[in-house]
């Protein structure tokens, strides 16, 4: 299964940002289950995207297609998580979000809006699934 898709034109994060991203992955309840090899693969396959203040990064109730990993190395950035119009919390450098719809195959549980200009490292659902699938296939082959 090819890991790089047509949408994946951007280069992986620079070395100066990878440790921040790895820390964010390890801090996340769900992503921390990935082993070192899977984490490295995930970092390598992230693509950058930028948002302006007031942009919706994720819309509550829509299909989850992209998992976004937020890393604001160059720009100071802040995002707001809301549910049915109520503010739940704000997110900043080192926070991971958008993982729930990808992991549970459900619709987006909340809206994530840019409060300031933000730069994100994103991963597509299919890429995430491929990383997980490749690993369990390897494990089976070792038995």
Contact 70, 24 (CB under 8 A): yes
Shortest separation between residue 112's beta carbon and ligand CMP, angstroms: 5
For residue 92, state whether it binds ligand CMP (rule: CB under 6 A): no
Shortest separation between residue 11's beta carbon and ligand CMP, angstroms: 25
For residue 66, state whether it binds ligand CMP (rule: CB under 6 A): no
Q: Which helix (H) or strand (E) holds 37?
A: helix 36-44
Closer residue to ligand CMP in complex, CB, 11/32 = 32
Residue 90's DSSP bridge partners are 80
Closer residue to ligand CMP in complex, CB, 101/120 = 101
Closer residue to ligand CMP in complex, CB, 22/103 = 103
Q: Which of residues 95-134 bind ligand CMP (CB under 6 A)?
A: 97-101, 108-110, 112
Q: How crowded is the C-beta side of 80, counted as CA atoms within 13 Å? A: 16
Q: Which of residues 1-60 bind ligand CMP (CB under 6 A)?
A: 58
Determine the Cα–Cα distance for residues 108 and 20; give it in Å rounded to an integer.
25
Q: What is the 3-state secondary structure (H, E, C) of 46-81?
A: CEEEEECCCCEEECCCCECCEEEEECCCCCCCCEEE
Binding site for ligand CMP (CB under 6 A): 58, 64, 81, 88-89, 97-101, 108-110, 112
């Amino acid at each position: 299964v090819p890991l790089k898709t047509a949408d994946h034109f951007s280069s992986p994060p620079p070395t100066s940002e990878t440790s921040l991203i790895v820390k964010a992955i390890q801090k996340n309840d769900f992503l921390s289950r990935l082993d070192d090899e899977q984490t490295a693969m995930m970092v390598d396959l992230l693509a950058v995207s930028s948002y302006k203040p007031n942009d919706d990064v994720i819309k509550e109730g829509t299909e989850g297609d992209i998992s976004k990993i937020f890393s604001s190395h160059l720009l100071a950035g802040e995002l707001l998580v809301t549910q049915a119009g109520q503010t739940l919390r704000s997110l900043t450098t080192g926070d991971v979000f958008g993982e729930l719809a990808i992991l549970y195959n459900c619709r987006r549980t909340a809206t994530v809006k840019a409060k300031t200009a933000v730069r994100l490292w994103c991963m597509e659902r299919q890429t995430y699934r491929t990383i997980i699938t490749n690993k369990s296939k390897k494990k089976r082959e070792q038995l």
